[in-house]
Amino acid sequence: MNPAALSLEQTPPLSVPMRFFLTAPLFVVAAAAVMLWYGPVVLSSRWMPSLLAVTHFVTLGFLAMIMIGAVQQLLPILMASPVPRPQLTSRAIHLLLTTGTLLLGTGMLTGRAGLFIPAMVSLGAGLLIFIVVVAYCLIHARSSHATVSAMALAITGLAVTSGIGLVLAGGYGLAFFQLPRYLTDLHLVWGLLGWVGLLVIGIAYQVVPMFQLTSNYPAVVMRWLPRGLFLALLLWSVAQLFPASYYWLELPGGAGLAAGYVSFAVITLLLQQRRRRQVSDVSVNYWRLALVSLLLAMVLWGVDGLTTLQHAELLFGVLLVLGFSMSVVSGMLYKIVPFLVWLHLNNHMQAAGRWGEKIPNMKQILPELHSRWQFWLQFAALLLMLGAVLWPLLTRPAAACLLVAFALLWWNLLEGVRVYLRYVRAV
């Protein structure tokens, strides 16, 4: 990737992504607090209300929150296609997503059916605004980079995930509507492998070469991998929805998903291994942890497809959510946030006519030591959570470690904002 090709002059105000970035870790803190309160019972079954609440606090409150904020920042910079009315748009999406996630999680914890309807309205409205805005920006994108098509497929995955989620929420909140529990696996897989996975791949095509100083991904991989994964996901989904007629599609669909994500993980690890400057970088550690977790999840996906393995579903979920998705998102935050703070400080100084003013570099904005401590805490939380699936007595230690890790992530991100405000106010 050529950094000179970035449309840096079109970057939205810093508050557009940062309101999402600073809110997201607090939802993980809330999820960890729920696990501390309920203890080992949380992981006794995938259908426990407390586990459902924890899962949605993490997937909607953290993963979706971060990715929605990041996409609004990346669209104008990478694709020269700015979000219309970025401040108003981001405020509306943030308010609706935050409110809907809190209502949904509280409804699951308390069993109050009346909370599911406003949660559905709030989440549905927020996600619909985001999907429509991103679709508009992608249609008007001036870049033909493979990230554009990958992001389009990811947004389609988000639309499918949201639709299934609203149907499932209707099963909890509407007395006359029977809960279609058979859609749960589709909701999970479309959310993690359709929305999150494809978006991570598309963004990786840009940020891995730029921030980690690697070679570009092979052109054939960038062009065809997201499309192949999306096709495999469609085949697998048809087999799940119509098992009597299309059961035979499950094997090629499932195998295609596993092969595609294993290929992405291996290629990315090889690129990182051969990067041009072998310097210590905590974001690379996050990516490696995420990619190893993805490989293990795909192995478990294949094994569970052949035989019944106790706790396989929970282990798969922990590896894919905490191991892969949350690790790669944390790693990207430690690069994206310092870059944005530096960029906005630089723009501010130039606008003030202070071209010679010295501003902090990226490592001074978020010191390596702070992010490294947070990495090890998150790594420990992952190991403890995997252990807790097998030995439930580890649930509270895992939750405590998770709470401290993401409270520290929140503090680190807040420090970056404080650096920005300190310099801006001094001008």
* Contacting residues for 145 by C-beta, under 8 A, at least 6 apart: 78, 79, 205, 206
- Tell me the pLDDT band of 159, cut-offs 50, 70 and 90: very high
Residue ranges covered by each domain of the chain: 279-427
Q: Is the dihedral of CA 171, 312, 191, 400 positive or negative?
A: positive
Residue 396: CA count within 13 A, CB half-sphere: 7
* Contacting residues for 47 by C-beta, under 8 A, at least 6 apart: none
327-343 exposure pattern, b = at least 16 Cβ within 10 A, e = fewer: bbbbbbbbbbbbbbbbb
* Contacting residues for 270 by C-beta, under 8 A, at least 6 apart: none
Q: Calculate the average pLDDT of the chain.
A: 88
Residue 84 in 3-state DSSP? Answer: coil
| Largest Cα–Cα separation, the chain | 70
Q: What angle do CA 418, 63, 129 make, to 5 degrees?
A: 95
Q: What is the DSSP letter of 85?
A: S
Instruction: Tell me the residue type at 189.
Output: V
Chain segment 18-33, per-residue pLDDT in tens:
999 999 999 999 999 9
- Tell me the pLDDT band of 1, cut-offs 50, 70 and 90: very low
Chain segment 185-220, per-residue pLDDT in tens:
899 999 999 999 999 999 999 888 888 888 899 999
Rounded Cα gap, residues 332 and 287, in angstroms: 8
Length of the chain measured in residues: 427
Rounded Cα gap, residues 42 and 40, in angstroms: 5
Burial of residue 275, with CB atoms counted within 10 A of its CB: 0-12 exposed, 13-18 middle, 19 or more buried: middle
Is 230's pLDDT higher than 70?
A: yes
- Tell me the pLDDT band of 356, cut-offs 50, 70 and 90: low
- Mean pLDDT over 367-383 rounds to 92
Q: Return the pLDDT at 112.
A: 87
* Contacting residues for 114 by C-beta, under 8 A, at least 6 apart: 107, 173
- Tell me the percentage of the chain whose pLDDT exceeds 90: 57
Q: Helical H runs in 193-218? A: 197-212
Residue 368: CA count within 13 A, CB half-sphere: 9
CA–centroid distance for 412 within its chain: 18
What count of other Cβ atoms lies within 10 Å of the Cβ of residue 191? 26
Chain segment 77-130, per-residue pLDDT in tens:
877 778 888 899 999 999 999 999 999 999 999 888 889 899 999 999 999 999
DSSP 325-376: IHHHHHHHHHHHHHHHHHHHHHHHHHHTT-TT-----HHHHS-HHHHHHHHH
- Tell me the pLDDT band of 307, cut-offs 50, 70 and 90: very low
